[in-house]
């Protein structure tokens, strides 16, 4: 019989969440928010101590407030002790990383480590739920792995429950999800996981474990396809003198297409789309299939990231000795995550070419500095500033990599007045061509008519 924590609502459970990264911590605070008792387990003692003190280890809107409330209400706990985490858990959610390996496959070593740990330490019937993004068939292997190492004659089953949160809106995406996907292989597991999610009051899509795993990859790859398609069309728009903003607006009224993910720019980044598209392509190759559409999305995105540098190289004879403003370092607004951000490739190139880079980001600078510490790199130098306009002072060119609101608020007149040479390369199409021309700023964007 599965243990249950009886609270005012009889659908509340004792839950353990392994991993306090984006997937694990967001899930944990949201489970606590709707009433479950949640214990978070992580091997990183520093992260656990931060969480215990009510400080989120990464930036995510709304996360800090939910973390503090869960602690205050006594429904959220943090530990590095395996026994404490698993002791009364009816369900254990795995939210550890599955990073991309050099060949594009997912590294499942952390999943395997946690699976064995669970098998050797759990002393009561429980359901193990894999929230991490894993290749199709991984849950089957995890369940077999648990059985191989299980020491007690107890019932442990494995279920798939992929997350569909987006960084910058992860809390909202969890509490107000369009759907919750669960993949199970027994009625017992399906009923328990449905019970856990019932207080959310959201649609539940119940499928097999392998279908649930594929839904995650298929959904993310489709969105990546959509972004790369619009970037491809934007590049063609420039050649035929059409405007991608007009094209996107016309497309957005078609219900079959939808209005989201139609913004052209310098490509997608982050911890999901790049990794998941490559993992799906790798899976297809393993089965002797060429997933041509997904490969095209990967190729387009790779080339799109440096399109601003190519535009600037056509305009400038050299970057050496030039002062360059770099606005936005994270892969998107609302997060401090810079993984696969366009800023990485572009700033790396600028530093190699001898530019003096002045970089601004409202929340991403501490993380970005881990990759590019302030100071000299190769032939160039990078300096971090705390205000976007400080990056523009005396700059010979400006690159916009992320559409933060603080960057959107810079006026065409600011570019004209602050920069040595008012030359702007906008990778997110946030500025008006007409207004920039009126302010006498030389302006380049993605897929738009130069005449405005």
**pLDDT tens digits for 72-128?**
999 999 999 999 999 999 999 999 999 989 998 899 999 999 999 999 999 999 999
pLDDT per residue over 342-374, tens digit each? 999 999 999 999 999 999 999 999 999 999 999
CATH class of this structure's domain 14-207: alpha beta
CATH number for the domain running over 305-444: 3.40.50.720
Confidence of residue 153 (pLDDT cuts 50, 70, 90): confident
pTM: 0.90
User: Average pLDDT for residues 203-211, to the nearest whole number?
Assistant: 97
Whether 2 shows a pLDDT value over 60: the answer reads no
What are the sequence ranges of the domains in the chain? 14-207, 216-303, 305-444
Q: Is 40 a catalytic residue?
A: no
pLDDT of residue 451: 55
CATH number for the domain running over 216-303: 1.10.1040.10
pLDDT of residue 10: 53
Which residue is catalytic, options 30, 126, 237, 272?
A: 272
Whether 7 shows a pLDDT value over 80: the answer reads no
Confidence of residue 271 (pLDDT cuts 50, 70, 90): confident
Whether 3 shows a pLDDT value over 50: the answer reads no
Q: 216-303 and 305-444: same fold?
A: no
pLDDT of residue 413: 98
How would you write the chain as a 3-class SS string? CCCCCCCCCCCCCEEEEECCCHHHHHHHHHHHHCCCEEEEECCCHHHHHHHHCCCCCCCCCCHHHHHHHHHHCCCEEEECCHHHHHCCCCEEEECCCCCECCCCCECCHHHHHHHHHHHHHCCCCEEEEECCCCCCCHHHHHHHHHHHHCCCCCCEEEEECCCCCCCCCHHHHHHCCCCEEEECCCHHHHHHHHHHHHHHCCCEEEECHHHHHHHHHHHHHHHHHHHHHHHHHHHHHHHHCCCHHHHHHHHHCCCCCCCCCCCCCCCCCCCCHHHHHHHHHHHHHHCCCCCHHHHHHHHHHHHHCCHHHHHHHHHCCCCCCCEEEEECCCCCCCCCCCCCCHHHHHHHHHHHCCCEEEEECCCCHHHHHHHCCCEEECCEEEEECCCHHHHHCCCCEEEECCCCHHHHCCCHHHHHHHCCCCEEEECCCCCCHHHHHHCCCEEECCCCCCCC
Whether 452 shows a pLDDT value over 60: the answer reads no
Whether 398 shows a pLDDT value over 60: the answer reads yes
pLDDT per residue over 404-433, tens digit each? 999 999 999 999 999 999 999 999 999 999
């Amino acid at each position: 019989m599965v243990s249950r924590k009886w609270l005012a609502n009889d659908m509340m459970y004792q839950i353990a969440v392994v991993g306090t990264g984006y997937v694990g911590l967001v899930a944990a605070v949201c489970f606590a928010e709707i009433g479950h008792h949640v214990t978070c387990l992580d091997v990183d003692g520093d992260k656990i101590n931060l969480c215990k003190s009510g400080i989120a280890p990464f930036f995510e809107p709304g996360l800090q407030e939910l973390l503090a409330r869960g602690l205050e209400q006594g429904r959220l706990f943090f530990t590095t002790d395996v026994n404490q985490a698993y002791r009364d858990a009816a369900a254990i959610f795995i939210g550890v990383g599955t990073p991309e390996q050099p060949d594009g496959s997912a590294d499942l070593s952390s999943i395997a480590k946690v699976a064995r740990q669970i098998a050797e330490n759990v002393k009561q019937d429980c359901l193990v739920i894999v929230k991490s993004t894993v290749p199709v068939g991984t849950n089957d292997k995890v369940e077999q792995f648990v059985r191989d190492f299980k020491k007690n004659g107890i019932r442990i089953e494995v279920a798939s429950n992929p997350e569909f949160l987006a960084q910058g809106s992860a809390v909202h995406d969890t509490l107000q999800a369009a759907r919750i996907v669960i993949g199970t292989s027994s009625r017992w597991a399906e009923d328990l996981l449905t019970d856990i999610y019932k207080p959310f009051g959201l649609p539940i899509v119940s499928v097999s474990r392998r279908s649930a795993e594929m839904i995650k990859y298929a959904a993310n790859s489709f969105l990546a396809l959509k972004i790369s398609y619009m970037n491809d069309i934007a590049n063609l728009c420039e050649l035929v003198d059409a405007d991608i903003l007009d094209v996107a607006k016309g497309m957005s009224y078609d219900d079959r297409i939808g209005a989201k993910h139609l913004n052209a720019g310098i490509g997608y980044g982050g911890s999901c789309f790049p990794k998941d598209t490559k993992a799906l392509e790798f899976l297809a190759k393993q089965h002797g299939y060429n997933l041509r559409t997904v490969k095209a999305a990967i190729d387009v995105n790779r080339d799109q990231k440096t399109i601003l540098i190519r535009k600037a190289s056509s305009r400038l004879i050299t970057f050496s000795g030039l002062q360059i403003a770099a606005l936005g370092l994270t892969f998107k607004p609302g997060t401090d995550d810079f993984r696969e951000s366009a800023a990485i490739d572009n700033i790396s190139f600028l530093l190699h070419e001898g530019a003096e880079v002045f970089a601004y980001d409202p929340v991403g600078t501490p993380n970005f500095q881990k990759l590019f510490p302030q100071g000299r790199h190769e032939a160039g130098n990078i300096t971090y500033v705390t205000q976007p306009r400080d990056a523009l002072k005396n700059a010979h060119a400006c690159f916009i990599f992320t559409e933060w609101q603080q960057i959107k608020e810079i006026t065409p007149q600011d570019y004209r007045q602050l920069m040595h040479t008012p030359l702007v390369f906008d990778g997110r199409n946030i500025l008006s061509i007409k207004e920039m021309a009126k302010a006498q700023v030389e302006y380049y964007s993605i897929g738009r008519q130069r005449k405005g």
